[in-house]
């Protein structure tokens, strides 16, 4: 697909005043307070993965409303020292799959938690195993439209809460250094990782590629590709629902989470991406860290902003930089000492 969004010179300056609900912080503060009423871990069982160099465990932890969420925990075999942890979130329509599918991070020397997505897993990949028991009449049947008429019923309220609880859970797993937790994801997974960065102030780093749910108000105006196209289709039938839908989306907007984030961040975007349009990604990147987390709502001074970088792929679609981009992620984390132990970092 040819480029369809703003030219790069405009993207680099694109920082729209995306409206936030007045109760945004109270909404998420209350949601997470309720979710954190109990310890996150439910179960941890070793599973055979057919591999010699990494070990895997089947994990269950408490997510939204205490619902059990499945995940794979994988780490280098025979290593007992506390390791940095990567919490990875998967793309739209897929589940956690099989434990041997995603090995980059454990082979890089990390503990790796791969979260299943409730109510997803049937569109591609190797399936998921986490149901979503909170059926809602307020919206359509696609994940991105479930409960979309009211923020308290919206599917992504539940999924983002699950993602935050995944970070809580990984910090209690054996062999994890809780001070070195990185949130990672692409597409839907990138949107979840970005939300986590906005809601968990002490992440070590964020790795976020082509994130979904950034400036969705703009996305549904300029693209009909899924998943945003599923919202467009819903609104084409429910013609009086636009105001309610736009209000609900404002509570999960990645731009709002980006403004509140503090961790060093590594982004990626393809300029021909009509699934997560580049202007929506830049809207979040250009405002990353621009709000204080101490309750103030003024702009932070430039020297207080967290480190951030973005890699742009002018001729790529939603696939972005693929393996080239993963190599850049690894080099970026290593250059910042994210994978070093606290003792090594002090040397």
Q: So which residues are the catalytic ones?
A: 187, 273, 318
Q: Are strands 111-115 and 68-76 parallel, antiparallel or unpaired?
A: antiparallel
At 8, list the tokens: 């790069």
What sign for the dihedral angle of Cα 11, 15, 17, 23?
positive
Lookup result for tokens 């970070």 = 167
Distance, CA of 164 to chain centre: 9
As a whole number of angstroms, the distance between CA 198 and CA 256 comes to 8
For residue 160, CA distances in Å to 15, 120, 154, 299, 336 come to 24, 14, 10, 25, 27
C-beta separation of 42 from 137 below 8 A: no
At 81, list the tokens: 């020292």
As a whole number of angstroms, the distance between CA 41 and CA 59 comes to 8
C-beta separation of 258 from 194 below 8 A: yes
At 267, list the tokens: 């982004």
As a whole number of angstroms, the distance between CA 305 and CA 51 comes to 42
Q: In the chain, count H helices and then E strands.
A: 12, 9
> Strand order of the sheet with strand 54-62?
41-47, 54-62, 68-76, 111-115, 83-89, 176-186, 205-209, 265-270, 308-313
Residue 334 phi, psi (nearest 5): -65, -40
51 burial level (CB within 10 Å; 0-12, 13-18, 19+): middle
As a whole number of angstroms, the distance between CA 46 and CA 52 comes to 14
C-beta separation of 199 from 258 below 8 A: no
At 66, list the tokens: 């205490």
């Amino acid at each position: 697909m040819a480029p369809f969004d703003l030219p790069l010179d405009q993207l680099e300056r694109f920082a729209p005043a995306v409206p936030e609900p007045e109760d945004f912080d109270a909404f998420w503060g209350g949601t997470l307070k309720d979710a954190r009423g109990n310890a996150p871990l439910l179960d941890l069982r070793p599973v055979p993965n057919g591999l010699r160099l990494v070990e895997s465990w089947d994990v269950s932890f408490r997510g939204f409303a205490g619902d059990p969420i499945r995940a794979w925990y994988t780490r280098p075999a025979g290593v007992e020292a506390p390791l940095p942890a990567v919490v990875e979130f998967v793309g739209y329509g897929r589940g956690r799959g099989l434990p041997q599918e995603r090995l980059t991070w454990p082979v890089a020397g990390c503990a790796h938690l791969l979260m299943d997505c409730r109510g997803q897993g049937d569109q591609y990949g190797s399936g998921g195993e986490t149901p979503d028991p909170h059926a809602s009449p307020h919206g359509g049947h696609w994940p991105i439209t479930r409960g979309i008429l009211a923020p308290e019923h919206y599917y992504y309220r539940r999924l983002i809460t699950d993602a935050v609880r995944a970070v809580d859970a990984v910090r209690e797993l054996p062999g994890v250094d809780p001070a070195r937790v990185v949130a990672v994801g692409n597409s839907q997974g990138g949107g979840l990782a970005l939300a986590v960065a906005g809601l968990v102030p002490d992440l070590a780093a964020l790795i976020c590629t082509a994130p979904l749910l950034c400036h969705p108000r703009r996305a549904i105006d300029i693209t009909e590709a899924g998943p945003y196209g599923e919202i467009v289709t819903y609104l084409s039938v429910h013609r009086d629902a636009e105001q309610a839908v736009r209000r609900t989306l404002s509570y999960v907007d990645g731009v709002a989470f980006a403004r509140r984030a503090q961790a060093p961040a590594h982004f990626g975007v393809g300029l021909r991406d009509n699934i997560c349009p580049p202007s929506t990604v830049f809207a979040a990147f250009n405002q990353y860290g621009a709000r204080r987390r101490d309750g103030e709502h003024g702009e932070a001074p430039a020297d207080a902003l967290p480190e951030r970088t973005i890699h742009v792929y002018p001729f790529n679609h939603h696939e972005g930089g693929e393996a080239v981009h993963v190599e850049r992620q690894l080099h970026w984390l290593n250059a910042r000492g994210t994978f070093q132990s606290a003792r090594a970092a002090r040397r």
